[in-house]
């Protein structure tokens, strides 16, 4: 057992990037430390069922150390630790190394992995074996006793609150409850467990309880949700002194329109989970600890949501986010939530307008919200996710002559973090004013819901907060329809139903349920059963078959087009078209070629060698570390044509007119081609083309 405790200490030191922090954890939470050591010890019982016991012990040691190293590497590059949904990455160690290690360390890791593999093969073949008789009648009961003892210890630890099975912040949970326990929990405790009384008749009773709702009215206002990253009122922090109000516009709107506290499922992180609750009306409370449905069930199936429900009423549905498309797997998940379009950072031309932490400023979102509203004459549902307030907040001063200064924190470093944060949300508050001013000029009905997704990562405690609660931010419902002001505290999973109720929409099983059953007997128990039936059960509510099909998500509202490539000198070309961004590349015969972004209509190729007959298109490439192509224009054939043949007044210049541009492709249409071409680029090869080309002479 002592050896296991040493091994576990090393694992925590690697995960925490600090021996001293691992020691503090061991001494301050001794029962948690012993529990996790017992967990690892229980896995070592396998050695008593095999003859190659030395080999098995070494293998298990490598396994646990490997998990610790993976977690340590991931936490050096992101704030989220290694969880169950990340396990699929283990099957491709090369991709992990490429994503999180530089080339030098990638080579070192590969060499070490090969040496370890060789050593394990030698140990398996040449290593010592247990020569005595394997007494399974004794060994198997012994192993079972240890397993049962561990199970009993787990139950006791949960009952005594030494451990928790609810993670408000998964990163904090790993710090508090240990890496082995949290990893095991995120692997085995996922989804929604089948309720004890689950049956078709029980679901029918839930549906019958909604019969008092009126029919949906004729109004179809535009509905916009604006989820503001880490946005809340800093004056609610007891110890904090700010030189002036960081959110004057939001505060003014709260006084004039419906507002209150917004209960969210996480603290300091977990944007996607607040998002999930707000879009689907489902509560995260019934899922596994620290689970992200975006990384689990929503990768596999569609889910009833506000976009699907409103689409049935003629709405167009849009998602907007000034961060990269693959974060939290949104590019795939939004197709399963019923969105028609998704405008991510890669489809925004203002990518260089960033704050000191290199997050795009939120003020750029107004343009894309209005773009979505103006796409058609149909009513729109727009879910916008901001990013400017994102951490990690710097401990050193980074803003020259800050608008807002801060004092009162326990350390100067914490004051600096708060000062940076307050100045970011001040800018976000200015964006709120700009957006509401812009929307107020529309001659269409609009309802705009604004709220923070969670508190910032500042180590806040309940005692620090004036409202004595960490799982809530604030919201306001702005409108130009003169909706009656009604202040109330509300949970994220109740908001969509509340907004629909205010405008006379009573559709969707989950939303109707909230409208009819909120604050009634068995409200939470029946909500759990309804969620289970929709996502994991027999879908009695739909007559046994999910009616929602995956949408053909279109990336960006406006099309990226390639119109013309003009040669201006040897190796230099102007590329003209529409809706170019800094993420645009010229693709030539399946290989991506870097270009210089000039404007939304112009790119510059400075080191090219285009040949007559080359297949060309414009590819929008992900800003994430995967760097895969998100979408591309239709492939066309490049023909170099002397302008002297078409315009005698022009000399020594060549160009190609790319002809009429077909409509940009949806994610579904380009998915296979994107993967093939991106892989070909990464492997230095070109893939075969299957699409129709457009020749211009």
In a domain, 566, yes or no: yes
Say yes or no: 603 and 662 in one domain.
yes
Say yes or no: 350 and 459 in one domain.
yes
Say yes or no: 67 and 19 in one domain.
yes
- CATH at residue 646: 2.60.40
Strand partners, 656: 565
In a domain, 294, yes or no: yes
In a domain, 564, yes or no: yes
In a domain, 328, yes or no: yes
Per the structure, the count of domains in the chain is 3
Q: Which of 492, 520, 548 is the endpoint of a domain?
A: 520
What span, in angstroms and rounded, lies between the C-alpha atoms of 285 and 690? Answer: 47
Our CA angle for 377, 383, 385, nearest 5°, is 140
Query: What are the residue ranges in the chain where pLDDT is below 50?
Result: 89, 91-96, 99-100, 642-657, 659-697
pTM: 0.82
pLDDT at residue number 501: 96
* Closest C-alpha to 346, from 5, 619, 539, 33: 619
Say yes or no: 267 and 180 in one domain.
no
Say yes or no: 390 and 281 in one domain.
yes
Say yes or no: 115 and 261 in one domain.
no
> Residue 492: which residues within 8 A CB-CB, separation 6 or more?
262, 263, 264, 265, 274, 277, 278, 451
Say yes or no: 252 and 146 in one domain.
no
In a domain, 625, yes or no: yes
Host domain of residue 348: 214-520
Going from the C-alpha of 219 to that of each of 223, 476, 482, 503, 514, the distances in angstroms are 12, 21, 14, 7, 20
Say yes or no: 367 and 404 in one domain.
yes
- CATH at residue 468: 3.40.720.10
Going from the C-alpha of 253 to that of each of 243, 256, 487, the distances in angstroms are 21, 5, 12
List phi, psi (to 5°) of 206: -65, -45
What span, in angstroms and rounded, lies between the C-alpha atoms of 598 and 601? Answer: 8
Say yes or no: 224 and 137 in one domain.
no
| Helical axes 179-188 vs 170-177, angle rounded to 10° | 130
Residue 65 exposure: Cα atoms within 13 Å on the Cβ side = 12
In a domain, 112, yes or no: yes
Say yes or no: 346 and 471 in one domain.
yes
> Residue 543: which residues within 8 A CB-CB, separation 6 or more?
none
Q: Which of 520, 539, 571 is the endpoint of a domain?
A: 520
Mean pLDDT (the chain) is: 87
* pLDDT tens sequence across 372-423: 999 999 999 999 999 999 988 999 999 999 999 999 999 999 999 999 999 9
Q: Which of 520, 543, 577 is the endpoint of a domain?
A: 520
In a domain, 455, yes or no: yes
Say yes or no: 581 and 474 in one domain.
no
Q: In which region does residue 309 sit, left (phi positive, over 0), alpha (psi from -120 to 50) or beta (all else)?
A: alpha
What span, in angstroms and rounded, lies between the C-alpha atoms of 404 and 497? Answer: 37
Residue 384: helix, strand or coil by DSSP?
Answer: strand
pLDDT at residue number 66: 86
Say yes or no: 160 and 269 in one domain.
no
In a domain, 341, yes or no: yes
């Amino acid at each position: 057992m002592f050896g296991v405790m040493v091994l576990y200490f090393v694992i925590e030191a690697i995960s925490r990037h600090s021996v001293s922090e691992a020691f503090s954890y061991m001494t301050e939470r001794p029962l948690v430390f012993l529990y996790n050591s017992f967990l690892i010890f229980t896995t070592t019982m396998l050695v008593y069922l095999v003859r190659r016991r030395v080999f098995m012990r070494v293998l298990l040691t490598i396994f646990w150390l490997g998990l610790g190293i993976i977690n340590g590497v991931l936490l050096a590059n992101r704030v989220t630790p290694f969880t169950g949904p990340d396990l699929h990455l283990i099957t491709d160690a090369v991709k992990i190394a490429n994503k999180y290690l530089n080339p030098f360390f990638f080579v070192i890791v590969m060499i070490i992995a090969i040496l370890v593999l060789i050593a394990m093969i030698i140990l398996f073949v040449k290593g010592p074996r247990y020569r005595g008789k394997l007494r399974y009648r004794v060994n198997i009961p012994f192993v079972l006793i240890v397993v049962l003892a561990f199970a009993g210890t787990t139950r006791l630890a949960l009952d005594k609150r030494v451990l928790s099975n609810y993670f408000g912040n998964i990163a904090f949970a790993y710090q508090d409850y240990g890496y082995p326990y949290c990893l095991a929990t995120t692997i085995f405790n996922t989804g929604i467990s089948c309720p004890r009384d689950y049956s078709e008749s029980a679901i029918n009773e839930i549906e019958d309880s909604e019969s008092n709702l009126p029919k949906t009215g004729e109004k179809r206002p535009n509905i916009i949700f604006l989820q503001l990253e880490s946005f809340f009122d800093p004056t609610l922090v007891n110890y904090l002194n700010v030189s002036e109000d960081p959110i004057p516009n939001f505060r003014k709107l709260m006084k004039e329109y419906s507002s209150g506290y917004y209960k969210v499922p996480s603290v300091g992180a977990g944007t996607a989970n607040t998002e999930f609750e707000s879009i689907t009306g489902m509560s995260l409370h019934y899922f596994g600890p620290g689970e992200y449905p975006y990384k689990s069930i929503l990768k596999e199936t569609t889910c009833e949501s506000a976009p699907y429900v409103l689409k049935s009423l003629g709405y167009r549905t849009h998602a907007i986010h000034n961060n990269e498309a693959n974060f939290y797997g949104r590019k795939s998940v939004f197709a399963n939530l019923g969105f028609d379009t998704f405008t991510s950072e890669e489809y925004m031309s203002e990518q260089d307008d960033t704050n000191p932490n290199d997050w795009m400023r939120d003020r750029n979102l107004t343009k894309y919200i209005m773009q979505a509203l103006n796409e058609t004459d149909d009513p729109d549902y727009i879910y916008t996710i901001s990013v400017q307030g994102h951490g990690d907040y710097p401990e050193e001063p980074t803003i020259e002559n800050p608008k807002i200064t801060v004092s009162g924190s326990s350390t100067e470093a914490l004051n600096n973090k708060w000062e940076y944060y307050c100045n970011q949300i001040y800018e976000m508050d200015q964006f709120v004013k700009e957006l509401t001013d812009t929307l107020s000029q529309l001659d269409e009905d609009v309802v705009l819901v604004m709220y923070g997704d969670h508190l910032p990562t500042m180590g806040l405690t309940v005692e620090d907060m004036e409202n004595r609660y960490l799982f809530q931010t604030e919201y306001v419902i702005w409108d130009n329809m003169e909706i009656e002001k009604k202040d109330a505290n509300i949970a994220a999973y109740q908001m969509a139903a509340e907004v629909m109720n205010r405008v006379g929409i009573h559709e969707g099983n989950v939303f109707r349920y909230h409208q009819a059953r909120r604050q009634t007997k068995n409200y939470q128990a029946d909500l759990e059963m309804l969620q289970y039936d929709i996502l994991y059960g027999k879908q009695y509510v739909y007559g046994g078959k999910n009616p929602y099909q995956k949408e053909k998500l279109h990336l960006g509202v406006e099309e990226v087009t390639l119109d013309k490539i003009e040669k201006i000198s040897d190796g230099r070309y102007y590329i003209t078209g529409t809706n170019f961004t800094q993420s645009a590349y010229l693709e030539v015969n399946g290989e991506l070629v870097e270009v210089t972004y000039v404007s939304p209509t112009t790119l510059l190729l400075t080191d090219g060698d285009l040949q007559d007959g080359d297949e060309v298109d414009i590819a929008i490439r992900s800003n994430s570390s995967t760097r895969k192509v998100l979408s591309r224009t239709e492939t066309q054939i490049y023909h170099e044509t002397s302008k002297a043949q078409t315009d005698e007044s022009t000399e020594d210049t060549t160009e190609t007119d790319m002809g009429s541009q077909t409509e940009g492709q949806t994610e579904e249409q380009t998915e296979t081609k994107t993967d093939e071409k991106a892989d070909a680029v990464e492997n230095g090869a070109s893939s075969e083309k299957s699409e129709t080309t457009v020749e211009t002479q």
